[in-house]
């Protein structure tokens, strides 16, 4: 097994460590020397790109969570309205797809039955369909109008890691592509963001070096029955993925909440010692997030915060801090998810779970 996993005890840990390489490959030649974004594989002209009035992103599972990040990014950078939907909901809800809607389907395998059905639904209703997928020649690539590959390489562990981060990266690149096509961003402004993206792989490497700290936290809380993940804005999208990772491989009941929703229900479940992972990477929302953290602390929950760089305000409010390398808040999802992947991994190992093949789950769900 260790040989198959190139020295790692599980595919999941190997794949977590492959993220810097996967991210570099996915950016590759799509970022030009001048810092602009180009997708040579796209057949759409800049005029066609400019013509879209709305984007719908459709996916399942982890890919859906990448879509949630995508919504923030596309709306923020390109000021285009974006809806994100679960493929299993989208296909049955008689979606309103007016002319000029671009459908983006995201799927690691390119084979998920619901996502494929959603793609067909969108096409039948006259949408252009762009697929973001990791498997060359998969069913989804054969039916989509346009295909962008994530170059994550084969992902074996059921719990998706490197596919997610590369999908998220593609969302940033698409946001920039749209923003440039719409004339909303100069090449200099685009270059500022692409430079930041190019620095991400090295920063992910730095996070991976902190794995003993994360393992310690995971082991310490591995006997709990529940865990909560809180965040606002982009952090909320990352919280969703963090909770999914933990529940799928460690079987701990984990829920993600938009931090502002805490008082509308979840707070009733916060009792002494319940671990709450607070994502605290969004500068403009930090104060609000910290007031939610105070509500958790007042009920004696245990708070683990994930923040950018050393932050005394955060450190003073929580029990444990995982400090990410410094980076602008907008790219934080690409960093913040990594400790959550490691936290889920080490928790599952501590609980003796079958990390790569969790019970009842399949890597690719090709039947409904």
Footprint of ligand G6P on this chain (CB under 6 A)? 60-63, 107-109, 112, 115, 158-160, 361, 363-365
Beta carbons within 8 Å of 152's beta carbon, 6+ residues apart: 18, 22, 25, 26, 108, 134, 162, 163, 165, 166
Q: Minimum CB separation from ligand G6P for residue 270, in Å?
A: 28
Measured from the CB atom, is 109 or 266 closer to ligand G6P? Answer: 109
Measured from the CB atom, is 116 or 293 closer to ligand G6P? Answer: 116
Cα separation of 112 and 138, whole Å?
Answer: 10
Q: Minimum CB separation from ligand G6P for residue 111, in Å?
A: 6
SS3 state at 221: coil
Q: Minimum CB separation from ligand G6P for residue 179, in Å?
A: 26
End-to-end CA distance of the chain: 32
Measured from the CB atom, is 249 or 274 closer to ligand G6P? Answer: 249
Structure tokens that stand for 266 in this block: 């979840």
Q: Minimum CB separation from ligand G6P for residue 173, in Å?
A: 18
Unique residue bearing structure tokens 């958790």? 296
DSSP letters for 28-45: GGGB-TTS-B--TT----
Tell me the residue number closest to ligand G6P, measured at CB. 61
Cα of 266 vs its chain's centroid, Å: 23
| Burial profile 223-243: b = 16 or more Cβ within 10 angstroms, e = fewer | ebeebbbbbbbbbbbbbbbbb
Phi first, then psi, for residue 34 (nearest 5°) are -80, -5
Pair 42, 149: CB distance under 8 Å: no
Q: Minimum CB separation from ligand G6P for residue 61, in Å?
A: 3
Q: Minimum CB separation from ligand G6P for residue 335, in Å?
A: 20
CA distances (Å), 232 to each of 59, 329, 341, in order?
Answer: 22, 12, 19
Measured from the CB atom, is 101 or 160 closer to ligand G6P? Answer: 160
Measured from the CB atom, is 77 or 121 closer to ligand G6P? Answer: 121
In the residue annotation, 363 being an active-site residue is answered as yes
Beta carbons within 8 Å of 223's beta carbon, 6+ residues apart: none
CA distances (Å), 328 to each of 75, 85, 307, 333, in order?
Answer: 17, 27, 11, 10
Measured from the CB atom, is 235 or 356 closer to ligand G6P? Answer: 356
Which of 288, 297, 357, 363 does the annotation list as catalytic? 363
Provide the annotated active-site residues: 363
């Amino acid at each position: 097994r260790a040989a198959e996993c190139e020295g790692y005890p599980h595919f999941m840990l190997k794949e977590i460590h492959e993220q810097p390489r996967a991210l570099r490959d996915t950016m590759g030649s799509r970022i030009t020397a001048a810092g602009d974004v180009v997708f040579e594989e796209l057949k759409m002209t800049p005029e066609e790109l400019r013509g879209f009035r709305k984007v719908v992103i459709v996916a399942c599972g982890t890919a859906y969570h990448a879509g949630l990040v995508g919504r923030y990014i596309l709306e923020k950078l390109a000021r285009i309205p974006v809806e994100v939907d679960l493929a299993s909901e989208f296909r049955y809800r008689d979606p309103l797809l007016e002319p000029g809607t671009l459908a983006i389907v995201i799927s690691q395998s390119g084979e998920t039955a619901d996502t494929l059905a959603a793609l067909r639904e969108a096409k039948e209703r006259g949408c252009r369909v762009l697929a973001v997928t990791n498997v060359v020649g998969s069913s989804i690539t054969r039916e989509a109008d346009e295909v962008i590959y994530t170059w994550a390489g084969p992902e074996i562990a059921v719990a998706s890691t490197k596919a997610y981060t590369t999908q998220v990266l593609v969302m940033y690149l698409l946001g920039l592509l749209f923003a440039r096509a719409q004339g909303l961003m100069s090449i200099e402004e685009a270059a500022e963001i692409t430079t930041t993206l190019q620095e991400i792989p090295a920063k992910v490497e730095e996070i991976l070096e902190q794995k003993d700290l994360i393992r310690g936290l995971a082991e310490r809380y591995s006997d709990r029955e529940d865990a909560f993940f809180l965040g606002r804005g982009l952090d909320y999208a990352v919280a969703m993925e963090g909770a999914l990772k933990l529940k799928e491989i460690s079987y701990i009941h984990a829920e993600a909440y938009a931090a502002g929703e805490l008082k509308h229900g979840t707070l009733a479940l916060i009792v002494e010692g319940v671990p709450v992972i607070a994502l605290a990477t969004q500068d403009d929302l930090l104060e609000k997030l910290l007031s939610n953290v105070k509500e958790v602390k007042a009920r004696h929950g245990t708070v683990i915060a994930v923040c950018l760089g050393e932050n005394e305000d955060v450190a003073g409010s929580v029990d444990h801090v995982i400090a990410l390398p410094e980076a602008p808040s907008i790219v934080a999802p690409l960093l913040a998810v990594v400790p959550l992947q490691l936290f889920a991994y080490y928790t599952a190992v501590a609980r003796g779970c079958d990390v790569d093949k969790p019970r009842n789950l399949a890597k690719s769900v090709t039947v409904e």
